Amino acid sequence: MDIDNLLQRNILGGQEYEPLFPEVSCDKTNLGNGNTFDTVRMIKQMVIKYNHQTKEVAKLLQQSSLKETCDRIYWFLYNHIQYKADAVEQMLRSPACTFKMRAQGVDCKTYSIFASSLLVNMGIRHYIRQIKQPSFRPDLYTHVYVIVPLNQESGDIKQGYFIIDGTTSTNREPIHIMAHDTEVNLPHFGLNAPKTNRKGIAKKSSIVAKKSKTIAKKNSNLPVYLGIGALLGVLFLKKSN
């Protein structure tokens, strides 16, 4: 089964947003090898380094409530950036590079970098979540996306959270057996976060994120499964409906 054919979509032109991003060359940088925890660590580093590239577009996407803002970010990612699964070579792209190459497609890791960068500029507290799925290699973390806690003050996801996953047409959280969350905690969070809308719109976590003490094993090729898991998540959701 072709993952790309299943998750690709017709995207909008998006030319009106091009002036909001800086010019970039999209040169490749060797980020080294590691397991999925190393990949999430590098995602966070990319957000810290390149979030400034989304400063202007974040102003257009931020709405009056937390739910509306998360929905708008998802709408932007899903409708303007094509999906394409990474092969063996793992690609972590900056937001400006992603938008420049939006027609070629990116996978779940790069969608997460983009979403997180937008949230940083909006002052919204959030986490990078990686999950293990029962439908595909349940021993490994195979998919990554962003979650936004409803309680922005405490960041407690037990009180509910929103999903931002640009890989799927539903923006629903895949069924999973384990989750590990990494907060992207830059110092200026909370300065201009939208007010929380608590009228039953946040999905409460069915599985509390478990903090793993797994030590990262260098020179492992496990990150290749991050992104493939997006496909299996979609299939599992469809079977559940």
- Average predicted confidence (pLDDT) for the chain: 81
Q: Residue 123 to residues 14, 40, 192: CA-CA distances in angstroms?
A: 24, 20, 5
Burial class (CB in 10 A: 0-12, 13-18, 19+), 24: middle
CATH classification for the domain delimited by 37-183, as one of 3.40.50.1980, 3.30.70.20, 3.10.620.30, 2.60.40.10: 3.10.620.30
Please state the pTM of the whole predicted model. Answer: 0.79
Question: Domain ranges in the chain?
Answer: 37-183
Length of the chain: 241
Per residue in 22-71, pLDDT tens? 999 998 766 667 778 999 999 999 999 999 999 999 999 999 999 999 99
| Phi and psi angles of residue 31, each rounded to the nearest 5 degrees, phi first | -95, 5
| Residues 82-95, mean pLDDT to the nearest whole number | 84
For helices 108-122 and 66-80, what crossing angle results, to 10°?
140
Per residue in 67-85, pLDDT tens? 999 999 999 999 999 999 8
Q: What is the DSSP string of 7-42?
A: H--PPP--GGGGGGS--------------HHHHHHH
| Residues 206-218, mean pLDDT to the nearest whole number | 35
Counting residues of the chain whose pLDDT is more than 90, the rounded percentage is 64
Per residue in 178-191, pLDDT tens? 999 999 987 554 44
* Of residues 143, 151, 73, the one with CA closest to residue 114: 73
